[in-house]
């Protein structure tokens, strides 16, 4: 089922074509989103209520749920699910809590001290998709690093369900995160509300979270319209599996399908060192696909995907680095030496027993990752994404003597006399 390309027959142009993700962007989406943004900017809360009526088919009196309603919904979900969310919370918290460290002061010259200090981004907005999908895991993946960073205001928006409330799993995650309010706003209008603020919804400094093409378009538009920033550009999800002759075709097929069920535009790429493995994975794909509830979606995604037959693991890694996958699985016997060759990837899963699903939900790593080749320059979300690092410096009398002449010479050669003066007056 996966079309196979032997790596050694591919020209540079073929590779460029294969690694290019399908980005069929509709201009219509831009128009719709611009219209929604302008509505929200002028109409505020009342236009958010109208849009809830229009898109979510629900009539809202207030645009949010508060603590007691959240707790009420949270406590109704079964204990087994509560427990699973708690374990995920603990692991994600454990992994993220070591990510930001104090740095030491560097005395670059006697009397010239420089250092960096970390400050949380004050106001952050988290968008949690709703509708057909229910994504409590996304709330954990964004809320936990925001909490660890110490963000003062965490604004969460998610579309209301038909009953004007939110899903109990999402409510339980709010409970774990000690977030006491959730705004019942979805889609591009949620992004617009957080970017510009309304009577009820605070304007934030940075917006995080996945979403459909309307949400991601809104994020990229508001970024250029106001000085809000966003986590990263978004595209369809993707996985690249590198597999050698020791790989288990059942596992590999299951991993490819876990990606494929996300959407018809998802990509699931297999790079294998033996042709027989590709054949056996293809057989497994047929069997496993037949069992899936989201079979149609996964089938389409597999048709948009392909396999590469590489001569060796070196070539396999070369292709992977060109592709720069969001998720990279190394289903090979000797993964350790291979990891050093990884240049571009969002998150890497090592060995035969490490499925991507573990990282998607509960192992501790973040699942908000760069897609569409952005892994060449972007990292996934982490506590880093919720803080700024501010540089500080202090110069004393000895320091200004030490560094003064250097600054004067450099300011002068750049033709900036006032820069020079600021030192001269202090000497």
Q: Which residues are annotated as a binding site for substrate?
A: 237, 259, 262, 327, 360, 414, 419
Binding flag, residue 75, its own copies (CB under 8 A): no
Indicate whether 34 belongs to the interface with its own copies (CB under 8 A). Answer: no
Q: What does each C-alpha distance from 288 to 154, 279, 299 come to in angstroms?
A: 41, 14, 11
Shortest distance, position 147 Cβ to its own copies, whole Å: 17
Q: Which is nearer to its own copies, 7 or 172 (CB)?
A: 172
| Interface residue with its own copies, options 7, 64, 183, 251 (CB under 8 A) | 251
Q: By CB neighbour count within 10 A (0-12 exposed, 13-18 middle, 19+ buried), where does 23 fall? A: exposed
Site mask for its own copies (CB under 8 A), range 292-331, x = bound: xxx---x---------------------------------
Question: Can you tell me the distance from the alpha carbon of 318 to that of 84, in angstroms, rounded to the nearest whole number?
Answer: 38
Identify which range of 53-61, 65-73, 275-283, 349-357 contacts its own copies by CB under 8 A.
Answer: 349-357
The partner residues of 306 in beta bridges, in order of sequence, read: 3
Element containing residue 242 per DSSP (H, E): strand 238-243
Strands (E), 315-412: 327-331, 347-350, 387-395
User: Which residues participate in the annotated binding site?
Assistant: 127, 189, 212, 237, 259, 262, 327, 360, 414, 419
Cα angle 189, 193, 195 (rounded to 5 degrees) comes to 115
Beta-carbon contacts of 280 under 8 Å, excluding residues fewer than 6 positions away, are 249
Which residue is it, tokens 């995604």? 301
Binding site per annotation, positions for Zn(2+): 259, 262, 360, 419
Position 275 contacts its own copies (CB under 8 A): no
SS3 helix, strand, coil % of the chain, rounded to 5?
50, 15, 35
Q: Taking the complex as a whole, how short is the minimal distance between the CB of residue 316 and its own copies, in angstroms? A: 17
Of 99, 200, 246, 304, the one binding its own copies (CB under 8 A) is 99
User: Should residue 211 be labelled a site residue for its own copies when binding is judged by CB under 8 A?
Assistant: no
Which of 88, 128, 154, 269 lies at the binding interface for its own copies (CB under 8 A)?
A: 88
Tell me if residue 327 is catalytic. yes
Selected range binding its own copies among 6-14, 30-38, 92-100, 177-185, rule: CB under 8 A: 92-100
Query: SS3 of 124, please?
Result: strand
Residue 180 known to be catalytic: no
Q: Which of 326, 331, 356, 367 is catalytic?
A: 326
Measured CA to CA, the distance from residue 233 to residue 371 in angstroms comes to 8
Catalytic residues: 326-327
């Amino acid at each position: 089922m996966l079309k196979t390309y032997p790596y050694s027959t591919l020209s540079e142009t073929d590779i460029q074509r294969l690694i290019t993700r399908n980005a069929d962007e509709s201009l219509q989406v831009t128009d719709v989103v611009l219209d929604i943004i302008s509505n929200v900017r002028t109409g505020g809360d009342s236009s958010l209520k109208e849009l809830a009526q229009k898109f979510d088919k629900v009539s809202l009196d207030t645009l949010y749920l508060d603590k007691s309603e959240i707790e009420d919904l949270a406590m109704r979900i079964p204990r087994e699910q509560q427990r699973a969310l708690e374990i995920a919370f603990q692991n994600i918290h454990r992994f993220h809590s070591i990510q930001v460290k104090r740095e030491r002061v560097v005395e670059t010259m006697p009397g010239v001290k420089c250092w960096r200090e970390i400050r949380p981004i004050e106001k952050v907005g988290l968008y949690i998709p709703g509708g057909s999908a229910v994504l409590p895991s996304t709330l954990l993946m964004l809320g936990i690093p925001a909490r660890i960073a110490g963000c003062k205001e965490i604004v969460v928006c998610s579309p209301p369900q038909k009953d004007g409330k939110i899903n109990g799993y999402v409510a339980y995650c709010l409970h774990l995160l000690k977030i006491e309010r959730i705004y019942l706003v979805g889609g591009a209008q949620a992004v617009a509300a957080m970017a510009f603020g309304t009577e009820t919804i605070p304007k934030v400094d940075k917006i995080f979270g996945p979403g459909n093409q309307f949400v991601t378009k809104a994020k990229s538009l508001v970024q250029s319209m106001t000085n809000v920033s966003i986590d990263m550009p978004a595209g369809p999800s993707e996985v690249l599996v590198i597999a050698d002759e020791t790989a288990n075709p059942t596992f590999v097929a299951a991993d490819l399908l876990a990606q494929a069920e996300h959407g018809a535009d998802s990509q699931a790429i297999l790079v294998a060192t033996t042709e027989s493995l590709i054949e056996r994975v293809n057989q497994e794909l047929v069997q496993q696909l037949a069992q899936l509830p989201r079979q149609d979606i996964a089938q389409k995604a597999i048709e948009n995907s392909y396999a590469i037959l590489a001569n060796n693991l070196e070539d396999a890694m070369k292709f992977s680095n060109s592709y720069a996958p969001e998720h990279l699985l190394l289903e090979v016997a000797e993964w350790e030496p291979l990891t050093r060759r990884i240049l571009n990837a969002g998150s890497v899963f090592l060995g035969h027993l490490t499925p991507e699903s573990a990282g998607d939900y509960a192992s501790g790593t973040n699942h908000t990752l760069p897609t569409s080749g952005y892994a060449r320059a972007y990292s996934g979300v982490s506590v880093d994404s919720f803080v700024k690092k501010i540089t500080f410096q202090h110069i004393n009398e000895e320091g200004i003597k030490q560094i003064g002449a250097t600054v004067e010479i450099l300011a002068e050669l750049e033709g900036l006399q006032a820069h020079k003066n600021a030192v001269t007056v202090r000497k």
